[in-house]
Amino acid sequence: MSRARTPLPDAVVADALARAPGWSRGEDGALQRARRFPTPAAAFGFVSGVALLAERHDHHPELRWVFRDVELRLVTHDAGDAVTMRDVELMLAIAELP
């Protein structure tokens, strides 16, 4: 199984979450983040940035965008909906977005 499809131990995920303010682990184990922006345009800018990062990382988050609110969820479906290094790397890149 490739590194991108190997589920990570909880301790590794917890360490990564400590480096990504605002992110948490959902009840289903997924990495998740919800943000409210001052304007719909700001939310759109963030979503656009996420889309560009997702393409670069060849990994695509579950994304919900309504008006000023954006919700993200990251898991690797090929790994049985587990969190893998692929999810952590994309989360950390998204965490750098304004």
Structural domains counted in the chain: 1
3-state secondary structure 52-93: HHHHHHCCCCEEEEECCEEEEEECEHHHCCECCHHHHHHHHH
Residue 17 is part of a domain; what is its CATH number?
3.30.1360.20
Q: How does pLDDT run across 26-85, given as a tens digit for each residue?
A: 999 999 999 999 999 999 999 999 999 999 999 989 999 999 999 999 999 999 999 999
**Which range marks the domain in which residue 87 is found?**
3-95
Give the DSSP letter of residue 86.
Answer: H
Q: How does pLDDT run across 15-36, given as a tens digit for each residue?
A: 999 999 999 999 999 999 999 9
